[in-house]
């Protein structure tokens, strides 16, 4: 009996460690929700009567515009690149993915400057087409313009999901629909889109979450969303209670999208036979060639080339005034916090996923699901939650608020799901008989991890590391709220110069964020391509 007890108590210890880690991650948001139960009802009435409609409408409207254009920029080029053979296809495939390196707020600052009265377009038209210039002289800081700009920065989430989904569908279903006499467009709408619905919606879900999380761009465009409302109530009006209520509203809005995503995933997740054979690429007609190049070039030019050229131009223009020591220090800070947070996230994520394989326990699955909700939590909500957590007993600590520790803690909460996602699919991909075989061959958990799970999942670990690192590199709202005194990152500096209408001065910081992002994304693309090649060989 003793031996039996010892054997199974080890599993309990491992489960307990996961539960504890999960609670640490979920604790701040629980504190936030609990704290709002004691808020005076007059605050809620004020919120209901004055702010809620405006915030809700703007948030939903912005989500709708961004989603529509992100779908257009993401799905259509992904279909063209997957099914047609044309010149520049591989370059398009690569470039279509790169706007991921440009944070939404940098995209927004850049376009507001490009479109402004003193920007290059209006200056050019005033100089050469004076009659036409009056027509262009508009207020571009509108929610619709912001929606399109955000879509240009966020469509790669949908593009990437579609490319993967289309490659999994492969050629069999397409050939079958052809043999049934279906046209290309009918095949696309009746076969490809329904089979890819879950992937498209997963990509769209990420876009929606990014829109709900966005602070820098909405603040700059003066659009009142939940996130900007939280910041305004808190910073401008010193009204923590209204900010908390807004954060909880935002949390439940996110929860609705989260549940919807899970529902769609379970309802439409068809179990189709994935096909490792690629699409048989067709050579398009001249008319189709034009359409293909147009739909691929629009998001590339406006989502990547124009912002990069403009930022680079500003850097050249400002070159003599660049404070290189400051640039170096801020880069160092950014890399340091991103690295530390990423290491912690990946270590915890790998531990969770490994444990899920060796300890068959429902508790682990539930906590894993709970943690995956964390990515849906906007940075502003997490920031506020942590401040409330460390301002209330028993965790009250003045020293901790505004410390390096809390900043990293917030990053870990926000980006844990980003790290878990690729690891989860990789760890789940291998049959459970691997673990049974290893146990049968006498391997303990440590050896099993070192000899089997680490080597076979190392690509996924690298992917998780790169994705998480790039995301933290770009992070703004959490850093704005929780950064220690006298500690800035590249994102914060970019935002602060932009908000002071000094966009050219902010460009060097933007450029460094973007360049680091591009380099890491190139690595990422290389790893992903290698994986696809291996799976197809």
Among 434, 484, 525, 531, binds other proteins (CB under 8 A): 434
Stretch that binds other proteins, among 127-135, 340-348, 426-434, 482-490 (CB under 8 A): 426-434
Which of 195, 197, 200, 218 lies closest to 75 in space, CA to CA?
200
Residue 170 Ramachandran class (φ > 0 left, ψ -120 to 50 alpha, else beta): left
The crossing angle, in degrees rounded to 10, of helices 404-429 and 324-358 is 40
Q: How many CA atoms lie within 13 A of 340 on its CB side?
A: 13
509 close to 490: Cβ distance less than 8 angstroms: yes
Among 230, 438, 476, 480, binds other proteins (CB under 8 A): 438
Nearer to other proteins, 334 or 457 (CB): 457
Residue 1 touching other proteins (CB under 8 A): yes
Stretch that binds other proteins, among 294-302, 313-321, 384-392, 452-460 (CB under 8 A): 452-460
Residue 428 touching other proteins (CB under 8 A): no
Concatenated DSSP letters of 15-48: HHHHHHHHHHHHHHHHHHHHHHTTS-HHHHHHII
11 pairs with which residues across the strands? none
Nearer to other proteins, 43 or 275 (CB): 275
Among 134, 144, 369, 436, binds other proteins (CB under 8 A): 436
Among 186, 267, 447, 536, binds other proteins (CB under 8 A): 447
Nearer to other proteins, 185 or 440 (CB): 440
Tell me how far apart the alpha carbons of residues 110 and 311 are, in angstroms, rounded to a whole number.
7
Among 130, 238, 440, 486, binds other proteins (CB under 8 A): 440
Among 123, 437, 529, 530, binds other proteins (CB under 8 A): 437
Two structure tokens written together for 496: 């602060």
Nearer to other proteins, 425 or 437 (CB): 437
Residue 274 touching other proteins (CB under 8 A): no
Tell me how far apart the alpha carbons of residues 433 and 438 are, in angstroms, rounded to a whole number.
8
- From the CB of 431, what's the least distance to other proteins, in Å? 6
- From the CB of 458, what's the least distance to other proteins, in Å? 9
ω into 187 cis (within 30 of 0): no
Give the contact letters, 453-492, x = binds to other proteins (CB under 8 A), - = no: --xx------------------------------------
| CA end-to-end span of the chain | 50
Stretch that binds other proteins, among 313-321, 362-370, 371-379, 434-442 (CB under 8 A): 434-442
Stretch that binds other proteins, among 161-169, 315-323, 404-412, 427-435 (CB under 8 A): 427-435
- From the CB of 352, what's the least distance to other proteins, in Å? 22
Tell me how far apart the alpha carbons of residues 347 and 343 are, in angstroms, rounded to a whole number.
6
Which residue carries 């031996």 as its tokens? 3
Nearer to other proteins, 120 or 444 (CB): 444
DSSP-derived 3-state class of residue 239 = coil
282 pairs with which residues across the strands? 84
Nearer to other proteins, 298 or 456 (CB): 456
Tell me how far apart the alpha carbons of residues 487 and 483 are, in angstroms, rounded to a whole number.
6
Residue 419: which residues within 8 A CB-CB, separation 6 or more? 342, 345, 346, 348, 349, 464, 465, 467, 468
Residues that bind other proteins (CB under 8 A): 1, 3-4, 7, 431, 433-434, 436-444, 447, 451-452, 455-456, 537
């Amino acid at each position: 009996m003793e031996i039996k007890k010892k054997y199974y108590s080890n599993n309990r210890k491992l489960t307990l460690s996961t539960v504890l880690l999960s609670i640490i991650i979920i604790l701040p948001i629980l504190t936030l929700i609990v704290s709002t139960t004691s808020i005076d009802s007059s605050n809620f009435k004020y919120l209901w009567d004055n702010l809620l409609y405006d915030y809700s409408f703007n948030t939903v409207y912005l989500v709708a515009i961004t989603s529509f254009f992100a779908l257009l920029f993401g799905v259509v080029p992904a279909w063209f690149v997957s099914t047609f053979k044309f010149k520049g296809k591989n370059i398009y495939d690569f470039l279509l993915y790169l706007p991921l390196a440009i944070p939404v707020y940098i995209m927004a600052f850049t376009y507001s400057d490009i479109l402004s009265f003193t920007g290059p377009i209006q200056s050019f038209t005033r100089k050469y087409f004076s009659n036409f210039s009056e027509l262009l002289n508009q207020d571009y800081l509108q929610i619709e313009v912001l929606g399109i700009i955000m879509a240009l920065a966020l469509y790669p989430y949908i593009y990437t999901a579609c490319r993967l989904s289309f490659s999994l569908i492969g050629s069999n279903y397409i050939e079958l629909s052809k043999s049934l006499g279906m046209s290309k467009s009918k095949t696309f709408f009746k076969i490809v889109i329904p089979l890819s619905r879950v992937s498209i919606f997963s990509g769209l879900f990420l876009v929606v979450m990014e829109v709900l999380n966005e602070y820098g761009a909405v603040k700059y465009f003066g659009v009142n969303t939940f996130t900007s409302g939280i910041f305004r109530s808190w910073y401008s009006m010193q009204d923590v209670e209204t900010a908390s209520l807004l954060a909880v509203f935002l949390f439940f809005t996110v929860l609705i999208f989260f549940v919807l995503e899970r529902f769609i995933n379970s309802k439409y997740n068809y179990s189709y036979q994935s096909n490792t054979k690629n699409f048989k690429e067709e050579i398009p007609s001249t008319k189709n060639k034009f359409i293909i190049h147009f739909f691929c070039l629009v998001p590339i030019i406006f989502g990547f080339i124009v912002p990069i050229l403009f930022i680079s131009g500003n850097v050249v223009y400002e070159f003599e005034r660049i404070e290189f020591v400051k640039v170096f220090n801020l880069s160092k800070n950014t890399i340091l916090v991103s690295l530390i947070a990423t290491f912690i996230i990946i270590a915890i994520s790998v531990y969770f996923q490994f444990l899920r394989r060796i300890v068959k326990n429902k508790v682990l699955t539930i906590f894993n699901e709970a943690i995956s909700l964390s990515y849906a939590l906007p940075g502003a909500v997490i920031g506020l939650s942590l401040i409330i957590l460390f301002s209330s007993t028993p965790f009250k600590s003045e020293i901790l608020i505004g410390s390096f520790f809390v900043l990293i803690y917030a990053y870990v909460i926000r980006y844990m799901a980003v790290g878990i996602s690729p690891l989860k699919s990789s760890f789940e991909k291998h049959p459970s008989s691997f673990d049974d075989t290893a146990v049968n061959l006498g391997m303990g958990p440590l050896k099993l991890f070192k000899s089997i799970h680490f080597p076979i999942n190392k690509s996924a670990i690298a992917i998780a590391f790169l994705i998480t690192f790039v995301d933290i590199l770009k992070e703004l709202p959490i850093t704005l709220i929780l950064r220690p005194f006298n500690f800035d990152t590249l994102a914060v500096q970019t935002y602060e110069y932009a908000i002071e209408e000094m966009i050219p001065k902010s460009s060097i910081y933007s450029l460094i964020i973007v360049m680091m992002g591009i380099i890491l994304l190139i690595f990422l693309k290389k790893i992903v391509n290698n994986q696809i090649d291996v799976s197809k060989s």
